[in-house]
Structure 1
Amino acid sequence: MDDNRSKIEQMRGLIATIKQADIAYFRDDRPIMSDRDYDVAVDLLKKLEQNTGVILSDSPTQKVPGEILESLTEVRHTRPMLSADKTKSVDDLVRFAGGRDVVLSWKLDGLTLVLRYDDGQLQQAITRGREGIIGEDVTHTVRTFLNVPVTVPTRESFEVRGEGVISWENFKKINDSLEEPYTHPRNLAAGSVRKLDPAESKKRLLEFKAFDLVTDLTFPTKTEQLDFLAENGFSVVPHLRLAAPSAGKVKDTVALMNPAGFEYPVDGLIMEYNDTAYGKSLGATGHHENRLIALKWKDELYTTKFLGVELATTRTGMVSITGLFEPVEMDGAKVSRAYLHNYNIFEQFQFGVGDTIQVYKANMIIPQVAENLTKSGTYKLPEKCPCCGRALSIQQTSGGTSQLFCDNPHCAAKLVQKFAHFCEKTRMNIEGLSATTLEKFIGHGWIRSFGDLYTLDRYKEEIINTEGFGVKSYERLQASIDKSRNCTLAKFIAGLGIPMVGRHAGRERDKCFGGSWEAFEQAIKDGFDFTSLPDFGATMHDNIYKWYADADEADLWRPLLDHITFIKENTIMNSTNNPFAGKNVVATGKLVNYTRDGIQTRLLELGAHPASSVTKNTDFLIVGEKAGSKLAKAQALGITTLTEQEFEDMAG
């Protein structure tokens, strides 16, 4: 079976590689492997799936069809899903072990599930449900998890219990994109598993960590149970076997298991007898099984003084509230802020500046306010948006809670995607300003126009102290900003986000106006006909004039002109002695060796006229994978089509 486990790990590596290649190819237009190497990886994965009998749910060989269910079906568990007895004392773990072999594992904080298998196939996935007796059928969403085996080599029927979880990294990534963010990965996991639409659930990057074999398959030890699950393709909860541990050994091991360094949310540890027959003989109460015990961490309280709040406006207009207090040292780190999840929670605490409050780290990770001992109730929330200065309102969310909102449709915080578009690599190429980072900066009021990107040094100290930043990351960001101050008219125009006017259109205007912004702007004032440029239609022409006349848009881009120096685009031809010089060339589909920007640059170097659409004036069409309608149109017009290799051979 060790060989099988090795092959399963190899499968996981192949899946990760193929996924990375898919992202690079389909999302980023930057292939990282050839089609041949990609096919070899997929073929090897299929072979390993056949050899092991295991197919993981995130395997590229599996296609999960989308389906919408009207409701979740109730299912009775074959065995009640009981809990574990709980303690906050390590001494209780020592007494529980009592000189016997035990297994110590993380108590994962997610949604507990039971998965049923029969004849090597996943048959059903069920939530804990009511009192652990009646659960809900969530098979449709569990099939979209990143790591659930949908086929296993074991043909005998069995049930496995585990936790549906989301890693801290993925929680942050997903939460930043949601209109109503979740307070904890557990809530996000539970809400995602119970979604009716599996396509939506799939976006949540859920994982399943197996921790118990429900079916009695006569394994004498707990570790053998977990080995069996690992050999069948399950990701098993990290665990340690302690052989008749002394009190010191138990305490030392517990001390080493620090949740702050673990990639998934946990709310304690589980200790269980390794001897399964002995554990079973101890029976159960109506609440918990006696074969195991859970250690819940004590929430150590720290007393400090409330100082006020910090508001930050998000891209949805919702304004987050963070409580500020005099710094206290928690687990070796200075902590001075805690997120207050909504307006209702802020109201409940009845804060006043100088109030004595108690704070703690929930599950030893997330700073929280526990209690306001003074409750003076004198503190009033700021009434204006920190980003645009407009009045804030209190609105009821779909979840039934109240939140602060900025109602200004032109608030810069709602324009995060515009700023992210401007900073992209193929536009102004400002590294370090992702949509998530921009949302933080904009929410704090540091960025209100594109021009403010070039004066972020005013907030150097604040940025350095922002989560995820430091001195080095600030210096890298500033260097990237300074580098982007010199740019071509083509990249500048592409970054402004004029509808339908991208990099190719920017290049045409760059050539037409000699790389001069002044010439381009004067042309607009003079009523220039942009349809006279190659591949410019009436809609693009109209979009330029609408954009230029929009006062709100002008407030965003005009301050940029004080910070940008325009340089000529290097379009020097390597040679005009090639078949493409002076020709109209279109590229379509996914190319192996070129991004969209890269193929346009290459064509310009050859003296060709790169175009974005096929017309009767097109001379060549370079065809990549999934070429679509452009290929059909070129064939209908009798235009010469070239593979990427044929293009390179002709170009020399």
Structure 2
Amino acid sequence: MQNLERMRELIQTIKEADEAYYKYDAPIMADLDYDRLYDELAALERETGTILSSSPTQRVSGEVLESLTAVRHTRPMLSADKCKSVADIHKYLGGHEAVLSWKLDGLTLVLRYENGKLAQAITRGDGLQGEDVTHTVRIMKNVPLVIPCKEPLEVRGEGVISWKEFHALNGTLDEPYAHPRNLAAGSVRKLNAEEVRERGLSFMAFDLISDNLGGSTKWETLRFLAQMGFTTVGYSILAAGASEEAVRQAMDFYQPKEYAYPTDGLIFEFNDLAYGRSLGATGHHENRMTAFKWPDTRYETKFRRLEVATTRTGMISLTAVFDDVVIDGTTVNHAYLHNLDNFTRLALGPGDTISVYKANMIIPQIAENKTKSGGCPLPDVCPCCGSTLVVRQSSGGTRQLYCDNEACPARLVRKFVHFCSKTRMEIKGLDEQTLTTFVQHGWVKNYGDLYELERHKEEILKTPGFGEKSFARLQKAVDERRTCTLNQFIAALGIPEVGRHAGRILNRKFGGSWDAFERAILDQFDFTQLEDFGQVMNDNIYCWYSDEEEAKLWRPALNHITFLKEETTMPEAQNNPFAGKTVVATGKLENYTRDGIQMKLLSLGARPASSVSKKTDYLIVGENAGSKLTKAQTLGVTTLTEQQFLQMLADAGIEA
């Protein structure tokens, strides 16, 4: 009776984990814990001889989101059984030839083709029906939309994102994902395909569903898929009669730490397709294949503290900091806890003995807290602004801490990114990911703080990815931007509609002086008097200047910046056809960026403008010119191709 009760508990716990993982892409437990519970349930089923109808060992996990159309699979999509040792693998193969391949860790997909064209893409779902995700799969970078074969067929594979693209993209998202698997799943299942276009997802084919295509062996099937234009999963052939040592050596070639994509093991499948089919299947897995998962070695260490940071959405990230431990040749001392539920479950306290591991040999995670003192208090205020934190529950049932203060500096990361960007203050090294870290920890709360990073040097050096040399490079980049022109600073402030072009006009008007610009605002200067300035821009300047909260962000920077007067004309360039002329550039130019052509016109003594009017003397026309060209033709403004512009410069003896 106790065994049956325990089995019911395990089924319910695994069901909740499956729903969070598959339906909401928000895992509530580590893979190691899930596998442990699953194995315990399977062992109890063998021991008791009883299998309950709701057991996850008899079905494939997964749920269908209500917001996507459900589609039934032509054949059930089952899982693979598991072997835990090389000896088990050798015994399973029984001397038969097999194909060894990566077990990719992403979102399993089915692609249906009709008359040589992609007709539908479906997720695995619960194995019997999945979700129609054709709209997002069509824009994955390596999915063939048309193939040479005109017969109906289905291709099964994995939607994955590389580790490199995962780390680059994750730092730009409002709520970072814990693993590439979740990012791939969350991306493929988005309703708006445009949000997925830049995420770099790939499709790796591993199976063909067809009665008469692909040949009689697994190797021939994979070769056929490659000929059709699919990227196939990496694989190799294990010869018939391979010894246990030969199997081990073949497996040693597959090193997950060196592989570009996330993987959680290896797949062994019989090469003879007819033999594989003859082995049948259970309700959970097909007997033609088995999976091997690398064991996650645990390492004991001591928990020291909880690192709390505020994200751009106001969500509070919780990271465990512990004594250094070397895993797979790298020193590890941080592990992200994912959510409040994991923090509560672990009951962490300073000095607790914990065991840690690298999930899939990549991501550090806490497997267990052996002490569970619970001495680490739950944070109750935002580390960035000091506001009281609240607990929110996601649609998947997981709890997270949030800061609800809309004015919290952590929510202003994008403004910091804008301020530091290449075409504004151009502070190298302060990219979005770095700024997010600095803001989350409360080291940067206004633009002035960017120039006082030395105050937090000791803490920054403890941050993963930072060392003495990288900090020195960053400090040098900041120091180089303690001097700037007025137009650079104004463009960096993020005043609505007042960008680089407007900044140059203001720079000329006020002689590069911030004091003169600010005095004009205090004297109620009418900015509509300036070329290309309308009432909206005028009002935006005054609205921005009167915003006290906004002033707290930018005014401290004035204590660290010296303004330089920018020479906008060159003496030798006064005798040229563009000196004193109003010139507009439109379309894509071959030899200049948008900013570059503006600077060139300024150096010629011209007045670069952003819109065409009766006062415009020349319109330089590039590729894909639009309404500005039409308006110029209507007004009779002289239009120049880029080559004509360059020729006029050459005729005047001026370099392009």
Shift of 1:398: 4.2
Determine whether 1:608 maps to 2:606.
yes
Determine whether 1:440 maps to 2:431.
no
Q: What does 1:49-448 align with in structure 2 at a 5 Å threshold?
A: 72-130=68-126, 132-216=127-211, 217=213, 219-244=215-240, 245-448=242-445
Shift of 1:162: 0.8
Shift of 1:562: 2.4
The superposition leaves residues 254-282 of structure 1 with CA deviations (integer Å, 9 ceiling, x where unpaired) of 23422222222211111122233333333
C-alpha distance in structure 2 between counterparts of 1:192 and 1:491, whole Å: 37
Q: Tell me the equivalent position of 1:539.
A: 536
Please give the secondary structure, in 1, of the residue aligned with 2:154: strand
State whether residues 316 and 400 of structure 2, in contact with CA within 8 Å, keep that contact through their aligned partners in structure 1: yes
Determine whether 1:528 maps to 2:518.
no
Q: What does 1:553-564 align with in structure 2 at a 5 Å threshold?
A: 553-564=550-561
C-alpha distance in structure 2 between counterparts of 1:611 and 1:237, whole Å: 53
The letter for the 2-side match of 1:569 is E
Structure 2, unpaired ranges of 5+: 1-64, 651-656
Please give the secondary structure, in 1, of the residue aligned with 2:344: helix
C-alpha distance in structure 1 between counterparts of 2:313 and 2:70, whole Å: 36
Q: CA RMSD in A?
A: 2.2
C-alpha distance in structure 2 between counterparts of 1:443 and 1:479, whole Å: 23
Shift of 1:204: 4.0
Please give the secondary structure, in 1, of the residue aligned with 2:145: strand
C-alpha distance in structure 2 between counterparts of 1:417 and 1:135, whole Å: 37
Using the size of structure 1 for normalisation, the TM-score is: 0.84
Please give the secondary structure, in 2, of the residue aligned with 1:149: coil
C-alpha distance in structure 2 between counterparts of 1:474 and 1:118, whole Å: 56
The superposition leaves residues 13-71 of structure 1 with CA deviations (integer Å, 9 ceiling, x where unpaired) of xxxxxxxxxxxxxxxxxxxxxxxxxxxxxxxxxxxxxxxxxxxxxxxxxxxxxxxx995
C-alpha distance in structure 1 between counterparts of 2:72 and 2:615, whole Å: 68
Q: What does 1:585-596 align with in structure 2 at a 5 Å threshold?
A: 585-596=583-594
Shift of 1:461: 4.2
Shift of 1:341: 0.8
Determine whether 1:484 maps to 2:481.
yes
C-alpha distance in structure 2 between counterparts of 1:646 and 1:398, whole Å: 60
State whether residues 309 and 381 of structure 1, in contact with CA within 8 Å, keep that contact through their aligned partners in structure 2: no
Shift of 1:643: 1.6
The letter for the 1-side match of 2:605 is G
- Greater shift in the superposed pair: 162-171 or 314-323: 162-171
Q: Tell me the equivalent position of 1:583.
A: 581
C-alpha distance in structure 2 between counterparts of 1:74 and 1:278, whole Å: 33
Q: Tell me the equivalent position of 1:59.
A: none
Shift of 1:218: 5.7
Q: Percent identity?
A: 63
The superposition leaves residues 349-383 of structure 1 with CA deviations (integer Å, 9 ceiling, x where unpaired) of 22222222222222221111222222222321232
Please give the secondary structure, in 2, of the residue aligned with 1:151: coil
Q: Flag the 1:375–1:136 CA change in 2: closer, same or farther, 3 A.
A: same
Shift of 1:81: 1.8
State whether residues 83 and 287 of structure 1, in contact with CA within 8 Å, keep that contact through their aligned partners in structure 2: yes
State whether residues 70 and 196 of structure 1, in contact with CA within 8 Å, keep that contact through their aligned partners in structure 2: no
C-alpha distance in structure 2 between counterparts of 1:646 and 1:109, whole Å: 55
Please give the secondary structure, in 2, of the residue aligned with 1:303: strand
The letter for the 2-side match of 1:138 is V
C-alpha distance in structure 2 between counterparts of 1:198 and 1:350, whole Å: 40
Using the size of structure 2 for normalisation, the TM-score is: 0.84
The superposition leaves residues 416-459 of structure 1 with CA deviations (integer Å, 9 ceiling, x where unpaired) of 11111111111111112112221111111111111111122333
State whether residues 606 and 651 of structure 1, in contact with CA within 8 Å, keep that contact through their aligned partners in structure 2: no
Q: Tell me the equivalent position of 1:598.
A: 596
- Greater shift in the superposed pair: 230-239 or 112-121: 112-121
The letter for the 1-side match of 2:451 is Y
C-alpha distance in structure 2 between counterparts of 1:524 and 1:391, whole Å: 37
C-alpha distance in structure 2 between counterparts of 1:608 and 1:628, whole Å: 23
State whether residues 160 and 181 of structure 2, in contact with CA within 8 Å, keep that contact through their aligned partners in structure 1: yes
- Greater shift in the superposed pair: 453-462 or 339-348: 453-462
The letter for the 2-side match of 1:622 is I
C-alpha distance in structure 2 between counterparts of 1:196 and 1:450, whole Å: 37
Q: Tell me the equivalent position of 1:632.
A: 630
Q: Select which of 451, 454, 458 maps to 2:448.
A: 451
Q: Flag the 1:87–1:442 CA change in 2: closer, same or farther, 3 A.
A: same
The letter for the 2-side match of 1:593 is N
State whether residues 257 and 362 of structure 2, in contact with CA within 8 Å, keep that contact through their aligned partners in structure 1: yes
Shift of 1:104: 1.4
The superposition leaves residues 76-119 of structure 1 with CA deviations (integer Å, 9 ceiling, x where unpaired) of 33332222110221221222344443221110112222222232
Q: Flag the 1:218–1:265 CA change in 2: closer, same or farther, 3 A.
A: closer
C-alpha distance in structure 2 between counterparts of 1:399 and 1:89, whole Å: 35
Q: Tell me the equivalent position of 1:649.
A: 647
The letter for the 2-side match of 1:596 is R
